[in-house]
Chains A and B, each alone.
Chain A
Amino acid sequence: MGTNMISIRHIVKQYASQRALDNVSMEIERGTVFGLLGPNGAGKTSLIRIINQITAPDSGEILFNREKLNQKHIERIGYLPEERGLYKKMKIGEQILYLARLKGLDKQEAMRRIKYWFVKLEIESWWDKKVEDLSKGMQQKVQFVATVLHEPELLILDEPFTGFDPVNAEIIKNEILELNKKGATIIFSTHRMESVEELCDSIALLNLSHKILNGKVKDIRNTYRNGTYLLEYEGDHLAFNGSAPFTLLSETNHEGSYQVKVKIQDGKKVNDVLHYLLPLVTINRVEEIVPTMNEIFIQTVSKSK
């Protein structure tokens, strides 16, 4: 697709004594899942609120589909805030209908879609229930339906999996991916790095109101490769000497089965390592250790301090 859904350009947002966003720019490609990451207080929520037009930036601009962001875009965005909630005393059905109509859907269309989602998520019987009678996880499901009901082009999900049990988290994850497949662009804000690797195409990492890392997940992980491999083999104990094309980082021995971490010397390849080892031992496992997003996250954040 290649076109940008959202272009964020030089956004600055200042609260009384504290700068929430300092000259932050990023591009979010149409049809991708974009991870907005960062520790608490990094400025994620501020940025999301600006995209939702809940607050306005002090300077800088945001383009939605190459148009300057304005009121009419509100109906094309779905937002699931981290701090979420529903009217406790209002019936579920009426509540979703109300929220959908605030997003500009007319009553009949909204009803039709609510029924579709209620059947899909197997919550048809909840229509007349009040929110206060539902468990936290059930409320989250209702809230998710309210967020996606108007079929937004851009879906902004702030920590969407908190409060879900693993089964329901899986259901919601699959719904998100399905919406993405149908063409929705998704901005996904989280600290949970496992889900980032699984879901996101690109990420931006914010820390202390600055963007400190941005790009495709694959590319970022590639740049963080440093030639570390995990090897498992059986055989005699090897005393690596200068002729080995790697340096030993760690070694464990379990009844003649060895597990070692090695760092390949500059200019050498994993094939050279195998070549060196093949005549000496029986190799069971060779695996490149690519830093996880979690490690990259921690490493980058602590470096930027």
Chain B
Amino acid sequence: MNKIWLIIQREYISRVKKKSFLVMTFLVPVLSMGMMALIIYLVAKQDDLCDKKKVEVVDESGMFRNKLKSSGSIEYSYSADNYATAKAGLLKSGYDYLLYVPGSITGVQLFSEKKASALTIQNIQSALSDIAQSQRLVSAGIDTAVLAKAQRPITLDAKQITESGEKDAQTYVAYAIGFISAFLIYMSLFIYGAQVMRGVIEEKVSRIVEVIISSVKPFQLMLGKIIGIGLVGLTQFVLWIALSLALSTVAGTVMMSKSTGNITEQVAKSQGVSSAQLSQASATQVQENGTAKIMKSIESIPVAYTIFCFLFYFLTGYMLYSAIFAMVGSAVDNETETQQFMLPITLPLVFTFIISMNFIINNPDSSLSIWLSMIPFTSPIAMMIRIPFGVPAWQLAISMMLMILGFLFTTWVAARVYRVGILMYGKKASYRELAKWFMYKE
């Protein structure tokens, strides 16, 4: 036991002391925060960043006169010219588009030098439709006050009924948490598993392995390495979480005070385009409601429970796969030879990841989702997707138990191959060879 502890220490300290570890630890949260900030910035400034499209409007019907509101991306101006002159002069006029509304309002046309973008077409179309609709309703004798009332949008308030009472069932937060945690597990299984494999290959190639296993059992060496690197992973996660929280609190307070105004204004503007009749004030109202709802539904996710499950599935999943990675490392003489053995590792992981992101996240309670969250090879990812949506306790219990049995099993198999593999120099291993090594007596 004492010797495993020595091995764990060496594996841990030698990695944590590396410059690359420090760089990764500080750079990743900073970079991801930076990226988030950039995305928020780009979304907020979207309209300013893309060129304003100038649209010349020739409205023979008179229905839209001064009703099309310019927004960040489109600027309307009404032309005094008639259709033919405007059309002929478009290329030299400095306008990007010419919108022609005939008197009958049928056969509305949009002309441009370049092909019109789908977004622009859609924006103009919906602006026109909104106005036309209101206009027609008004001309059919509907009061404008009634009209404004009628056009107020409806938002759906999803609630979940559990034994402990009602709670908000906003799925997009569950969606985001499931997505992020499953993605992190998927990535970390590869990153830290590959570190285990490289560590084993390094010991084998440098031939130090024979010196060490004359002092400790191969199993102790393998387990010490797996645990040591696992702790490195855990340290990195904890530091990332702590740093991200610290950074986002700092950035959050700065950003909030500075740009809330901007964003709401921006949102209001874009809302203004799609429902021209709505007042700016009510648009802002809707948005604020949404933000409050997101905040509320984040609060409805049990943080401690989710973090516990995440760490559990990360650790057991890591143990399960890194044992296989260690086995592969013991069988080869260099990293390029590992390719042929990587399929059994990458196949279940990639398969689960793709299924998770496309299917489980939308159907967290389907029988396929439940099965995938039970099988130890797929459950670390599949279960993490399901957890934010709520998983029955018995399913979680079975899945966790199977996970523990799963990693005990792969560790046992891997150790049997590993003890033989690390002493086989210059022998090209095949799957048959591995099976033979597995069968060797002590």
Contacts and interface: CB of A to CB of B under 8 A. Distances in A.
B223 to A, nearest CB: 14
Nearest to B204: A85
Interface string A82-95: 01111111100000
Interface string B1-33: 001001100100010000000000000000000
A16 B440 CA distance: 8
A259 interface: no
Interface stretch (B189-197, B212-220, B239-247): B212-220
B211 A99 contact: yes
Nearest to A78: B214
B214 A77 contact: yes
Interface in A121-149: 143, 146-147
B215 A81 contact: no
Contacts of B7: 102
B436 interface: yes
A98 interface: yes
B10 A98 contact: yes
B211 A81 contact: yes
B206 A87 contact: yes
Interface stretch (A25-33, A52-60, A206-214): A52-60
A51 B7 CA distance: 23
Given A85-B207, A102-B212, A54 B14 contact: no
A146 B214 CA distance: 12
Q: Main secondary structure on chain B at its contact with chain A?
A: helix
A9 interface: no
A86 to B, nearest CB: 6
Contacts of A15: 440
Given A54-B423, A90-B14, A101 B6 contact: yes
B207 A84 contact: yes
B208 A85 contact: yes
Contact of B206 (A56, A86, A103): A86
A85 B441 contact: no
B210 interface: yes
B442 A56 contact: yes
A220 interface: no
A169 interface: no
Interface in B396-442: 423, 425, 436, 440-442
A38 B10 CA distance: 38
Given A83-B425, A102-B6, A89 B14 contact: yes
Contacts of A146: 211
B277 to A, nearest CB: 69
Interface string A58-74: 10000000000000001
Contact of A86 (B208, B215, B440): B208
Given A99-B211, A143-B211, 7 more contacts: A16-B436, A56-B441, A84-B207, A84-B208, A87-B206, A87-B208, A98-B6
